């Protein structure tokens, strides 16, 4: 499966065209809207989230609630566009345009894409960069991920996400008996955290950062249960599924690192305390006594839960801006201030869950015959049976 996205943060809409969803799969706007609304929540976001009420339009590829096998086209309108029609207008700039419309952004923000993007494409007005480098684009990626998540749900594969750390406040590792319990416990948390004591401290830390004109980052975790074993491949570097997940996580705006299972801790432990011993029983087939490697060996799933974490750096736009250089005058200046979030880690957890869902669904669609939804479902079931008896 593949998809592309288009659209600017303050343009009319965000768009995606998805290719490769099997034909005959139930899919509704409501399925996608649930994920979009999860992404909009979270303590620490700026005023933009009060303006937007993200809702998807299915514009192609679905008929009477079922996918057709043709490309699925989705769009999410930007409500904020109505305030930006002149600044973001698509026609040529009129000579008599107002100063506000003509004003260029020439002071790059350290940590954002402004300067590198301007250099790369030759934009003297860095609005041309920030409009597309904005994480507003993650809205439509979540829409694509929601379609993938729907496919996974029919195959008995479930996902959840939660926040482990914000601004140095670490949550206790969550204790849950099922992913639905984890989801219930974190869904209404303003910071998507399982631990109520850490939740309060995280919120205080976000408020403090905001009062100081600063920003903070954190760590999110995504868990996927029910993936059959042997999905992905060891035979080529670009078929390794853990590598695809790592790429997907680091592709989220402001994500700088990724780990699976015990992750970087593996560097400090002997092999006997890292590798997961193998067992077999007739009911479950091959399982592991532990899941320290987070569900992957050799670029393939082990059948154990997939546990992947991503680290998000603090938001670059600061109300107390850092020093930068004006690209017109070359004089030192404080960077531009755009309206901004002070912490978006809870929202980013939902983005992470959805980009992981996309990679898992793509790997399944690639490995099995996937033109028809029913055939795919049967193939995955046959594979599970085969793996149990292997």
Ligand X SMILES: Cc1cc2nc3c(=O)[nH]c(=O)nc-3n(C[C@H](O)[C@H](O)[C@H](O)COP(=O)(O)O)c2cc1C
Residues forming contacts to ligand EPS in the complex (CB under 6 A) are 9, 46, 48, 52, 134-136, 139, 253, 338-341
Minimum distance between the CB of residue 51 and ligand X, rounded to whole angstroms?
Answer: 13
The entry of ligand X, ligand EPS, none that residue 15 binds, CB within 5 to 8 Å by partner kind:
none
Minimum distance between the CB of residue 260 and ligand X, rounded to whole angstroms?
Answer: 20
What the block records as the tokens of 314 is: 């603090």
The entry of ligand X, ligand EPS, none that residue 186 binds, CB within 5 to 8 Å by partner kind:
none
Burial of 268 (0-12, 13-18, 19+ CB in 10 A): exposed
298 labeled binding residue: yes
Minimum distance between the CB of residue 345 and ligand X, rounded to whole angstroms?
Answer: 8
CB-wise, 152 or 349, nearer to ligand X? 349
The reply on whether position 112 binds ligand X by CB under 6 A is: yes
Residues 389, 286: Cα–Cα separation, whole Å: 9
132 labeled binding residue: yes
Minimum distance between the CB of residue 361 and ligand X, rounded to whole angstroms?
Answer: 21
CB-wise, 182 or 343, nearer to ligand EPS? 343
Contacting residue, 9, 189, 317, 367, with ligand X by CB under 6 A: 317
- Where residue 299 falls (left for φ over 0; alpha for ψ -120 to 50; beta otherwise) is left
369 labeled binding residue: no
The entry of ligand X, ligand EPS, none that residue 291 binds, CB within 5 to 8 Å by partner kind:
none
Q: Which residues contact 187 (CB under 8 A, 6 or more apart)?
A: 38
Give the CA angle between residues 91, 92, 95 to the nearest 5°: 130
Residues 220, 259: Cα–Cα separation, whole Å: 10
Show the site string, 323-362: x = touches ligand X by CB under 6 A, - = not: -----------------xx--x--xx--x-----------
Minimum distance between the CB of residue 256 and ligand X, rounded to whole angstroms?
Answer: 7
Contact 346, 41 (CB under 8 A): yes
Biggest CA–CA distance in the chain, Å, is 78
| Footprint (CB under 6 A) of ligand X, residues 246-285 | 252-254
Q: Strand 72-77 vs strand 158-166: parallel, antiparallel, or unpaired?
A: unpaired
The entry of ligand EPS, ligand X, none that residue 351 binds, CB within 5 to 8 Å by partner kind:
ligand X
92 labeled binding residue: no
254 labeled binding residue: yes
370 labeled binding residue: no
Which residues are at the interface with ligand X (CB under 6 A)? 46, 111-113, 133-135, 138, 252-254, 315-317, 340-341, 344, 347-348, 351
Known binding site for NADP(+): residues? 39, 45
Known binding site for FMN: residues? 132-134, 253-254, 298, 313-317, 339
């Amino acid at each position: 499966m593949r998809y592309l996205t288009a659209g600017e943060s303050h343009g009319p809409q965000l768009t995606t065209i998805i290719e490769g969803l099997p034909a005959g799969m139930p899919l509704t706007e409501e399925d996608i809207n649930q994920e979009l609304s999860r992404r909009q929540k979270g303590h620490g976001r700026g005023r933009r989230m009060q303006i937007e009420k993200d809702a998807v339009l299915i514009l192609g590829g679905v008929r009477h609630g079922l996918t057709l096998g043709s490309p699925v086209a989705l769009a999410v309108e930007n409500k904020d566009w109505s305030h930006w029609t002149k600044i973001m207008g698509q026609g040529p700039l009129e000579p008599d345009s107002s100063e506000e419309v003509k004003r260029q952004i020439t002071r790059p923000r350290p940590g954002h894409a402004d300067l590198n993007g301007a250099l790369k494409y030759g934009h003297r007005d860095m609005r041309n960069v920030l409009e597309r480098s904005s994480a507003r684009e993650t809205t439509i990626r979540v829409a694509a991920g929601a379609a993938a998540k729907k496919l996974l749900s029919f195959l008995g594969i479930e996902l959840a996400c939660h926040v482990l750390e914000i601004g140095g406040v670490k949550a206790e590792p969550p204790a849950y008996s099922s992913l639905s319990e984890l989801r219930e416990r974190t869904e209404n948390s303003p910071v998507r955290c399982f631990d109520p004591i850490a939740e309060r401290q995280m919120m205080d830390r976000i408020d403090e950062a905001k009062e100081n004109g600063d920003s903070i980052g954190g760590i999110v975790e995504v868990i996927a249960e029910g993936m059959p074993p042997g999905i992905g491949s060891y035979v080529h570097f670009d078929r390794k599924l853990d590598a695809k997940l790592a790429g997907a996580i680091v592709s989220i705006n402001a994500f700088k690192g990724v780990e699976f299972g015990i992750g970087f801790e593996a560097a400090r432990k002997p092999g006997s305390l890292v590798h997961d011993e193998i067992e077999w029983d007739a009911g479950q087939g091959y399982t592991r006594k532990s899941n320290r490697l987070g569900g992957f060996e050799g670029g393939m799933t082990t059948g154990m839960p997939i546990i992947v974490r991503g680290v998000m750096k603090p938001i670059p736009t600061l109300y107390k801006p850092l020093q930068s250089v004006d690209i017109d005058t070359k004089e030192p200046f404080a960077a531009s201030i755009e309206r901004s979030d002070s912490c978006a880690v809870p929202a980013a957890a939902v983005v992470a869950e959805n980009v992981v869902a996309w990679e898992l669904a793509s790997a399944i669609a690639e490995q099995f015959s996937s033109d028809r939804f029913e055939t795919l479902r049967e193939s995955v079931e046959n594979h599970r049976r085969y793996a149990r008896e292997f």
